[in-house]
């Protein structure tokens, strides 16, 4: 199975900071990568698909990039409502797998 390694597992940043999360696949997955946001006590929500495409209605401060094995998720100008855990997710073949998650907190 293709493993997804996400880092860091947690981070603390100030309002307005730029936040970067990385996700690495154990083998080439092209751009078959999504990013989800899970707020405390809530279900996950799809933010970015195909590595870099913003889902409709998602604020433009969120972005994604990368292909192959290395991917980056960025929040430009962190807002209080962005407090959540973020997960990368690989698709394209089975089993579908997630990264371990990155918990984002306010400093």
Partner 1 sequence: QVQLVESGGGVVQPGDSLRLSCAASGFTFSDSGMHWVRQAPGKGLEWVAFIRFDGSNKYYVDSVKGRFTISRDNSKNTLYLQMNSLRVEDTAIYYCAKDKGSGITWLGWFDPWGRGTLVTVSS
Instruction: Using CB under 8 A, list all residues that contact partner 1.
Output: 34, 36, 38, 42-46, 49, 55, 87, 89, 91-92, 94-101
67 vs 101 by CB, closer to partner 1: 101
CB of 15 to partner 1, least distance (A): 26
Residue carrying the six token digits 């998602």? 58
Distance CA 30, CA 92 (A): 9
Distance CA 69, CA 43 (A): 27
CB of 22 to partner 1, least distance (A): 16
CB of 14 to partner 1, least distance (A): 26
73 vs 87 by CB, closer to partner 1: 87
**How far from 68 is each of 25, 45, 50, 78, 79, CA to CA, in Å?**
8, 24, 12, 27, 30
The token duo for 77 is: 């100008």
66 vs 87 by CB, closer to partner 1: 87
């Amino acid at each position: 199975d293709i493993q997804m390694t996400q880092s860091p597992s947690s981070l603390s940043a100030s309002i307005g900071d730029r936040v970067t999360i990385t996700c690495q696949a154990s083998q080439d997955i092209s751009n078959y990568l999504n990013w989800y946001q899970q707020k405390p006590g809530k279900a996950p929500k799809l933010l970015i698909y195909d590595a870099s495409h913003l889902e409709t209605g998602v604020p433009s401060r969120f972005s994604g990039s990368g292909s192959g094995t290395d991917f980056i998720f960025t929040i430009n100008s962190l807002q209080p409502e962005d407090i959540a855990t973020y997960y990368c997710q690989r698709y394209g073949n089975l089993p579908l797998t997630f990264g371990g998650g990155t918990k984002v907190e306010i400093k």
